[in-house]
A and B are shown apart, each in its own frame.
Chain A
Amino acid sequence: MITFLQRAVIMGIPLLFGSTGETITEKSGHLNLGIPGVMYMGGICAVIGAFFYENAVGPENIVPFLAILIPLACALLGSLLMGLVYSFFTVTLRANQNVTGLALTTFGVGFGNFFGGSLIKLADADVPSINLTATSSVFKTKLPYDALLNAMSAANAPSWLTAFVRGFCDLFLSYSFLAYAAIIIAFATAYILKRTRVGLHLRAVGENPGTADAAGINVGRYKYVSTCLGSMIAGLGGLYYIMDYAFGVWSNNGFGDRGWLAIALVIFTVWKPNVGIIGSFLFGGLLIIHNYIPGLGVADQELIKALPYVVTVIVLIFVSAREKKESLPPQSLGLSYFREER
């Protein structure tokens, strides 16, 4: 049971990054269908950064600080560039958001798979495959609570207590720092959106840019910043996936449909990042639950994997039927804003 929950959390973290980022973007009125591409981009940039670093100094000699900083910076930079491209097209050039987003996904996924598949050749490196276990293990550093447990058993603590502490630690303390970062970012985003002036202004921009403009809010700047920031957060999802979940081993299309799942999650959580924390673990759980249901055929597993999407559709229908305005998508989602058209 504890392993299941633990795995569900690990599966859920990339989705949480993605959906938090996408929520910020959507709150400014931009439906960024390029998020899957952005997350790929975040992942591959981290891989590229780490790959060159590991190759330069050798996997044994890496400095933990740099091993984290370099991929992190690369992932952020890569996804920031994607966010800039998207906002340049949709905000400045007022291009159609869906088309731009899809093009971004095509580009990002292609970029990821291309470099994932060709990096070794391009870098003329002398390795059989991209295997960044060394960097990954740095990323996967977790709290040393094993020492505590060892100490407890050494001190002859009652076995039920040890088991309880072990369970507690496994469930809550066994993740890498990025996982906690995801949760903190989600909470922070929820707080900013709900409880600060910046959040109020951002939501106004997404709901009714004309009103926001009239109130003296710089609509374009809010849109740019939120899109880019959203992309960077989503990019961290790619980083987490590759460095933590996948042990630093890049496989093409390994990231799969997680980007779309992140978009689904935004709807599922009715645009609330704090709900997204639970939601992402739920989605993560749905993705792996088939391993924990005894007697399930391979085929049935595939049907279970459709559940997150089905649930999302039901939520979408439900909120539209109920017409509760707070749960509806931001009102001007998907529309370009041009002041003179007011």
Chain B
Amino acid sequence: MSDKTPAIELKNITKTFGKVVANKDVCLTVNYGEILSILGENGSGKTTLMNMISGIYYPDAGQILVGGKEVIIASPKDAFQYKIGMIHQHFKLVDVFSATENIILGLENQGRYDLKAAAQRVREISEQYGFDIDPNQKIYEMSVSQKQTVEIIKVLYRGADILILDEPTAVLTPQETEKLFKILRRMREDGKAIVIITHKLHEVLSLSDKVAVLRKGEYIGTVNTAETSENQLTEMMVGKKVSLNIQRSEPKDPRERLIVAHLKCENKEGIKELDDVCFTANSGEILGIAGIAGSGQRELLETIAGLHPANYGGIQYVDPATGKLENLRDKTPLEIRNLGVRLSFVPEDRLGMGLVGNMGITDNMMLRSYRAGKGAFLKKKEPESLADRIISQLEVVTPDKATPVRRLSGGNVQKVLVGREIAAAPTVLMAAYPVRGLDINSSYMIYNLLNEQKEKGVAVIFVGEDLDVLLELCDRIVVIGQGRITGIVDARTTTKEEIGLLMTKGGSK
């Protein structure tokens, strides 16, 4: 394809945040009339890279060339000047405005303010590329895919011919995804350069001309889609297995503890968050949940914990003493606790949900236990001694136990949270991304804590993103993709590639 001219070339781009290297020596080329996929796991540096092209970050080293000339992109405005438009994962739209109003927002010097003419222009763009949108519809009346369409038109309206889409299909149904791809292909024919960030293999294969793979900030390579296979891409994406030496014991006397059957959840817009999820968590075992971020892991745990409504299906708890079944579905967290179910939950959002950032460790200990005891007053003795215990046993670094936890480092915050949840002597322990953002030592301490719980006969559910960790820590792994379970595998015998393939499967069934 020698007739194509390069739209953007990146040469040896490097970007670090503090000690973390987000991108290292990345080289990329996108031509006009071409779709390039950037493939990588969570945290591989895809979004950082694109943010540098769209002017949100500035690279530490390296060059960016637009149309063959070296440029400096210091702000989104600069990016717009070079006709680069980015469609972010989180839409920036004003809810009560119509599509047109959002599209022209912030545009100056466009002559007279004329909504009708603007709406006409929006219609023209829509027709040109086959968008299906009513320019006068209000954003809050729109589905997610329509909002995304507005964002895309916004970029086109400003005359962009280099489009960057950050995980555009994460929020779409398969049908909507297909529609989007059709539009993107039409744009390609129109000579636009398109970069799409994704981690779904089948999308990469069906849509793009070239694939660039990133792994942990490093640029692995670019291949032509026509010349590659799922297996090759998976291997490039996940890399070779790294041994972590996490200890793992054989489950002792595993018994059914939590039975999830045909669980289905929909959000307000009717999009399926969970679809027919079935699995069983056993006592004395760590059940891993693997999947691309946003595949329904959060909804799954929150539904079990009584924080998210379910539309269909059952969640049953097996009482370890009596073997009696208790239904947990549609119960509030308090009702679940009042049933005598000791369910602990380490949520993904540590300071926004699991802890109160402005309170000290002692007060955070009380979150679970403050109702204990008779009378209207708080009993501070126990939480205080618990705080002391956690500080000394888990080596939490803090000036004192009254210091607001938001001032602690990420690792220490997580120790406080996990410590509290374990102190409740759970029979089921759910942990969502418990080692995200933690240093090595803290991470291992968390693994050890989870293992301890497992040995005590607790049913541990571990949602993770690092496949190496999942493979070494867990006994079984449930793989989830787009709200569906795509496989349940034995962690001792499976391979990274197998999980990687399963992860990218969901939805396309």
Contact = CB atoms under 8 A, between A and B. Distances in A.
A and B touch in the complex (CB under 8 A): yes
Interface of A: 195-197, 200-201, 203-204, 207-208, 210-212, 214-217, 325-326, 328, 331
Nearest to B88: A214
Contact of A211 (B94, B115, B138): B94
Contact of B76 (A197, A201, A214, A217): A214
B76 A196 contact: no
Contacts of B92: 208, 210-211, 214-215
Contacts of A217: 105-106
Interface in B94-108: 94-97, 101, 104-108
Interface string B89-133: 000111111000100111110000101000000000000000000
B157 interface: no
A331 B97 contact: no
Contacts of A328: 96
Interface in B450-495: none
B140 to A, nearest CB: 5
Nearest to B75: A216
Contact of A216 (B77, B93, B95): B77
A152 to B, nearest CB: 46
A165 to B, nearest CB: 41
A72 to B, nearest CB: 30
A85 B105 CA distance: 29
B96 A207 contact: yes
B97 A203 contact: yes
Nearest to A214: B92
Contacts of B104: 197, 200
A311 B140 CA distance: 28
A325 B113 contact: no
A338 B101 CA distance: 24
A204 B138 contact: no
A208 B76 CA distance: 18
Contact of A201 (B93, B106, B138): B106
A100 B105 CA distance: 31
Interface string B32-61: 000000000000000000000000000000
Nearest to B109: A197
A171 B385 CA distance: 78
Given A212-B106, A217-B105, A331-B95, 15 more contacts: A197-B107, A200-B97, A200-B113, A203-B94, A203-B96, A204-B105, A204-B106, A207-B94, A207-B97, A211-B93, A211-B94, A214-B92, A216-B77, A325-B138, A331-B96
B96 A326 contact: yes
Interface residues of B, number: 18
Nearest to B101: A200
Contact of B96 (A195, A196, A325): A325
Most buried by A among B92, B104, B107: B92
Interface in B168-206: none
Contacts of B107: 197
Contacts of A207: 94-97
B91 to A, nearest CB: 9
A14 B76 CA distance: 45
Nearest to A195: B113
B105 A211 contact: yes
Contacts of B94: 203-204, 207-208, 211-212
Contacts of B93: 208, 211
A117 to B, nearest CB: 46
B77 A196 contact: no
25 contacts: A195-B113, A196-B113, A197-B104, A197-B107, A197-B108, A200-B97, A200-B101, A200-B113, A201-B105, A201-B106, A203-B94, A203-B96, A203-B97, A204-B105, A207-B94, A208-B94, A208-B95, A211-B105, A214-B106, A215-B92, A215-B105, A325-B95, A325-B96, A325-B138, A328-B96
B390 to A, nearest CB: 30
A204 B98 CA distance: 12
A328 B138 CA distance: 14
A215 B138 CA distance: 18
Closest 7 CB pairs of A and B: A215-B106, A197-B113, A211-B92, A216-B106, A215-B105, A207-B94, A325-B96
Most buried by A among B76, B77, B96, B108: B96
A185 B48 CA distance: 48
Contacts of A325: 95-96, 138, 140
Given A197-B113, A214-B76, A217-B106, A204 B95 contact: no
Nearest to B112: A197
Nearest to A326: B96
Given A210-B92, A211-B105, A204 B113 contact: no
A212 B105 contact: yes
Contacts of A196: 113
A90 to B, nearest CB: 21
Contacts of B140: 325
A208 B91 CA distance: 12
Nearest to A196: B113
A125 B252 CA distance: 98
Nearest to A211: B92
A95 B435 CA distance: 37
Contacts of B113: 195-197, 200
Most buried by A among B77, B94, B95: B94
Nearest to A199: B113
A195 B93 CA distance: 19
Contacts of B138: 325-326
A201 B96 CA distance: 13
A201 B107 CA distance: 10
A188 to B, nearest CB: 15
Contacts of A204: 94, 97, 105-106
A244 to B, nearest CB: 35
Most buried by A among B76, B77, B95, B101: B95
Interface in B293-352: none
Contact of B105 (A195, A200, A326, A331): A200
A302 B77 CA distance: 59
A190 to B, nearest CB: 15
A331 B140 CA distance: 13
A250 to B, nearest CB: 42
A154 to B, nearest CB: 51
Nearest to A210: B92
A216 B158 CA distance: 13
A161 B146 CA distance: 61
A225 to B, nearest CB: 16
A208 B94 CA distance: 6
A9 B285 CA distance: 78
A208 B113 CA distance: 21
A2 B42 CA distance: 73
Interface in B137-152: 138, 140
Contacts of B77: 216
A217 B96 CA distance: 18
Contacts of A197: 104, 107-108, 113
Nearest to A206: B94
Most buried by B among A195, A214, A215: A215
A331 B92 CA distance: 14
A204 B139 CA distance: 13
A326 B95 CA distance: 9
Nearest to A198: B113
Nearest to A328: B96
Contacts of B106: 201, 204, 212, 214-217
A231 B140 CA distance: 32
Most buried by B among A197, A325, A326: A197
